[in-house]
Amino acid sequence: MCPREVFVDLEPTVIDGVHTGTYHQPFYPEQFITGKGDAAHGHYTTGKGIIDLVLGRICKVADQCTSLQGFLVFSSFGGGTGSEFASLLMERNPSWSSPFTQVFQISTARLEPYNSILTTHTTLEYSDCMVENEAIYDICHRNLDIERPACAKLNHFISQIVSSITVFQDLMVS
């Protein structure tokens, strides 16, 4: 069994790490799409150059589903791929009319405020659900008594949220 996914990053380092790392086996290599760099190029240059390839791969994966109910898109507001390319992807396919879930990461990039401003309109228009990191930290701190949650704990918590969303969606369709 192989998950139905497409990994996209305009900067190849992270995806190369997944592609060659410990957990590479369940994924098809052709589902990893990278560019050559992401600094201020996510929407208008590098992103435009690979958008058709990405859409083609997404359509290919979707065509293999017997009862497609939606898409989960994980991205960030801070980076060029997460904010700019995700906006381009959503703008190019408003007809999908299915849920987009975005998970935002806290970034220390100097351009994060600009990227956030540029992507906010598109995200609000095309997203049905968003998860914000500060809210997750607050839940961990206030409700779960975890002062400083480790990355593994945060990932587990986010996976529970995503799992709950997909189960709820299944119940609504049934």
The pLDDT tens digits of the residues spanning 5-50 come to 888 888 788 788 887 888 777 788 888 888 776 555 555 567 778 8
Residue among 59, 46, 47, 15 at smallest CA distance from 33: 15
Q: Is the pTM of this model over 0.95?
A: no
Residue 167: its pLDDT value, please? Answer: 62
Segments in the chain below pLDDT 50: 1, 97, 101, 103-104, 106
Q: Are 68 and 37 in contact (CB under 8 A)?
A: no
Tokens read off for 130? 């968003």
Residue 97: its pLDDT value, please? Answer: 47
